[in-house]
Amino acid sequence: MPIPQNLSSSAAGRFALAILVPILLGACASPGSAAKSAAPAQWQGSVAVSARDDVALTQWWHQFNDPVLTDLITQALQSSPDVRTAVAKVTESRARYGVQRASLLPSLSTSVTGQGTSQEVRSTHVTTRAESYSASLDASWEIDLFGRNRKSLSATAADLAQSEENLRSAQASLAAEVATAYVSLRSAEAQLATVEASLRSREETLQLTRWREQAGTGNALDTQQSVSTLEQARAAVPSLQATIAQTRHQLDLLSGQTPGALDSLLTTQANVPVATATLAAGIPAETLRQRPDVRAAARAAEAAAARTSAARRDRFPTLSLTGSIGVDALQAGKLFSPASTIASALGNLTAPIFAAGRIQQTIKIQDALEQQALIAYESTVLTALAEVENALVSVQHGGDRLAILAQAVAAAREAATLARLQYQSGQSDLLTVLEAERTLLSLEQQQVTTTADRTTAHIQLYKALGGGWTQG
- pLDDT tens-digit series, residues 238-260: 999 999 999 999 999 999 999 99
Higher pLDDT, 328 or 268: 268
Poorest-pLDDT segment among 47-56, 107-116, 188-197, 370-379: 47-56
Q: Is the pLDDT of residue 78 over 80?
A: yes
Q: Is the pLDDT of residue 429 over 80?
A: yes
Q: What is the mean pLDDT of residues 162-189?
A: 95
**pLDDT (0 to 100) of residue 157:** 95
**pLDDT (0 to 100) of residue 4:** 46
Among the listed residues 285, 318, 11, 280, the one whose alpha carbon sits nearest the alpha carbon of residue 149: 318
Question: CB–CB of 177/143 below 8 Å?
Answer: no
Q: What is the mean pLDDT of residues 447-468?
A: 91
Question: CB–CB of 134/113 below 8 Å?
Answer: yes
Quick: pLDDT tens for 294-322.
Answer: 999 999 999 999 999 999 988 888 888 88
**pLDDT (0 to 100) of residue 166:** 93
Quick: pLDDT tens for 323-354.
Answer: 887 666 555 555 555 556 777 778 788 888 87
Q: Is the pLDDT of residue 16 over 70?
A: no
Q: Is the pLDDT of residue 192 over 90?
A: yes
User: What is the DSSP annotation of 22-75?
Assistant: HHHTGGGS-TT-TTGGGS-SS-STTPPP----HHHHHTGGGGG--HHHHHHHHH
Which residues pair with residue 215 across a beta bridge? none
**pLDDT (0 to 100) of residue 162:** 94
Q: How confident is the model at residue 287 (pLDDT cuts 50, 70, 90)?
A: confident
Q: What share of the chain has pLDDT > 90, as a percent? A: 44
Q: What is the mean pLDDT of residues 400-423?
A: 92
Query: What's the CA gap between 453 and 184, in Å, rounded?
Result: 9
**pLDDT (0 to 100) of residue 472:** 58
Among the listed residues 409, 277, 297, the one whose alpha carbon sits nearest the alpha carbon of residue 20: 297
Q: Is the pLDDT of residue 10 over 70?
A: no
| pLDDT, the chain, mean | 82
**pLDDT (0 to 100) of residue 371:** 94
Q: Is the pLDDT of residue 389 over 50?
A: yes
**pLDDT (0 to 100) of residue 33:** 31
DSSP 270: -
**pLDDT (0 to 100) of residue 42:** 81
Q: How confident is the model at residue 94 (pLDDT cuts 50, 70, 90)?
A: very high
Q: What is the mean pLDDT of residues 178-207?
A: 92
Q: Is the pLDDT of residue 2 over 70?
A: no
Edge-to-edge strands of the sheet including 340-350? 107-121, 126-143, 318-329, 340-350
Among the listed residues 377, 274, 359, 373, the one whose alpha carbon sits nearest the alpha carbon of residue 314: 359
Going from the N-terminus, what domains does the chain have, and what CATH number goes with each? Answer: 9-104+144-316+351-464 (1.20.1600.10)
Q: What is the mean pLDDT of residues 407-426?
A: 90
**pLDDT (0 to 100) of residue 21:** 46
Q: What angle do CA 95, 98, 103 make, to 5 degrees?
A: 135
Q: What is the mean pLDDT of residues 104-114?
A: 81
Residues 6+ away with beta carbon under 8 Å from 438: 229
Q: Is the pLDDT of residue 30 over 50?
A: no
Residues 6+ away with beta carbon under 8 Å from 260: 248, 249, 252
Q: Is the pLDDT of residue 28 over 60?
A: no
**pLDDT (0 to 100) of residue 424:** 83
Q: Is the pLDDT of residue 390 over 70?
A: yes
**pLDDT (0 to 100) of residue 47:** 53
Q: Is the pLDDT of residue 228 over 80?
A: yes
Q: How confident is the model at residue 8 (pLDDT cuts 50, 70, 90)?
A: very low
Burial category of 346 from C-beta neighbours within 10 Å (exposed 0-12, middle 13-18, buried 19 and up): exposed
Q: What is the mean pLDDT of residues 126-144?
A: 75
**pLDDT (0 to 100) of residue 35:** 29
Question: CB–CB of 262/231 below 8 Å?
Answer: no
